[in-house]
A and B are shown apart, each in its own frame.
Chain A
Amino acid sequence: MNLFLSQITAIVWKDFVTELKTRELFSAMFIFALLVILIFIFSVNLSIVKASEVGPGILWVAFLFSGTLGLNRSFVLEKENGCLMGLMLAPADRTAIYFGKLISNFVFLTVMELFILPLFMIFFNIDLLEHLLPLLLVIFLGTLGFCALGTLLSSLASNLKTREIMLPILLYPLLVPIVIGVVRMTGQILAGEPLSEMMNWIGLTASFDIIYIGVSIMTIDHILEE
């Protein structure tokens, strides 16, 4: 178990060091999310529609789109210098590679989301601070589900010729349940409803996260196999 954990930490550490050196992924994701929010603000008339009604949807679309940028990067980067081959040759379990990638994707996306939230607050004139804790729970559940499935599919898509095109096509239909769930929950939270009102959605997103992490553990061996 200890060995397994240190293998995961090694992979996560490697990703962090690369990112700290280059800083290309994080800034790209952040600016892209900002652009998505801006484009949506231009496309809906905020003087007619209530900001708290369209806000959650726009926020999550921005998260998912920029998250996809990150996912696309995550395995392609490994492919470039044959790093993935090195990882697979290392005496580590394939699940460790999956978890390492999952954690680094998750952390990058979450940090980016925490940077976007204050800007969202300003642009939409919504006070998030009073609902911060339930909102963070929803962001955690949604981001984890997105990364669990996204990491699996990005490891798969990275071996295709048209990987940047195929990843969203494969990923988005499968993400629909979790997107509906988190957008609904965010809307309810911003409307001031307590978490106990949305237990069904929490159950749905949490079981989505668990099942897809489980499926990934079972199938990653078949994807990372040369």
Chain B
Amino acid sequence: MMNPDAVEEKQEEGNVLIWLTGFALLVAMIGIFIYVPTERTEGVIQRIMYFHVPCAWLSFFAFFVVFICSILFLWKKDREWDIYAHASAGIGVVFCSLVLITGPIWARPIWGAWWVWDARLTSTLILWLIYVAYLMLRAQSDAGSMRARYAAVLGIVGFLNIPFIHFSVLWWRTFHPQPKVITNEGIGKGMDSSMLATLGLSLCAFTLLYFLLMGERVRQEKLKDEIDRLKREKLYSS
């Protein structure tokens, strides 16, 4: 049982994070819609990049967290890591879906097609499918050690697949814009400094959002566990 003081302290921490995230997102929005100049060739649609790239970053980060937590779970067999992996996979899938939605919106006016079978599009789609399967596996099995172990194995197997997907679709075909932020000439040379600043700000705001969502999801899962425990307790005591 948590003591009431700890709960209150936790909630206060959560409140700080909410305000911080809200503020960062607000500043990022101002940056994206007001401060940053419009791109010369692509026009106003290019502003979607400030959502597209952070979403992609966030989903990859979330899947990486799933991988780490899965390993830690199989090692320590602690329910805590299972909760973290589950929460992170859910957030990752949501943001991966956003990448797959914002991408075509950006691609339509620039490439003239909603979807092309480019390397990074293809690998993002496959990644999305892997983690949707991960969530389905969790939904299919009953709560307990079996579900956690199976999900952890899939979390590891799925993440190790990423380098293979990367190279196979890269050799298959590619036309995505080459990375602009980190190029051969050094970090940040391929982009205007105001754009880079806005992108950085947006990345920070989204990363904060990840931690906020993560905290909420973990809290929900723990409450669910607590309810299950109480139910069982009452059921057998009466």
Interface, chain A (partner B; CB < 8 A): 149, 152-153, 156, 159-162, 166, 169-170, 172-174, 176-178, 180-181, 184, 200-201, 204, 207-208, 211-212, 215, 219, 222-223, 225
Contacts and interface: CB of A to CB of B under 8 A. Distances in A.
A89 B123 CA distance: 41
B137 A204 contact: no
Interface size class of B (residues with CB under 8 A): 20 to 34
B167 A177 contact: yes
B168 to A, nearest CB: 4
Given A166-B133, A208-B164, 15 more contacts: A153-B157, A156-B150, A169-B133, A170-B154, A173-B126, A174-B130, A174-B157, A176-B168, A177-B161, A184-B171, A201-B171, A204-B168, A215-B156, A219-B74, A222-B74
A174 B123 CA distance: 11
A47 to B, nearest CB: 26
A169 B136 CA distance: 9
B205 interface: no
A147 to B, nearest CB: 15
B163 to A, nearest CB: 9
Contact of A184 (B74, B157, B172): B172
Interface string B128-154: 011001001100110000100110111
Contact of A161 (B140, B157, B167): B140
A211 B150 CA distance: 19
Nearest to A181: B168
A173 B154 contact: no
A225 B149 contact: yes
A161 B129 CA distance: 21
B137 A200 contact: no
B94 interface: no
Interface of B: 74, 126, 129-130, 133, 136-137, 140-141, 146, 149-150, 152-154, 156-158, 160-161, 164-165, 167-169, 171-172
B137 A174 contact: no
Contacts of A180: 168-169, 172
A101 B59 CA distance: 35
A121 B151 CA distance: 42
A88 to B, nearest CB: 14
A170 B137 contact: yes
A201 to B, nearest CB: 7
3 closest A-B pairs (Cβ-Cβ)?
A177-B164, A177-B168, A173-B129
Contact of B157 (A201, A215, A225): A215
A223 to B, nearest CB: 6
14 contacts: A156-B150, A156-B154, A166-B140, A170-B154, A173-B126, A173-B130, A173-B133, A174-B158, A176-B126, A177-B167, A178-B164, A212-B157, A219-B74, A219-B153
A159 B133 contact: no
Contact of A160 (B74, B140, B160): B140
B26 to A, nearest CB: 37
Nearest to B70: A219
A222 B140 contact: no
Nearest to A173: B129
Contacts of A222: 74, 149, 152-153
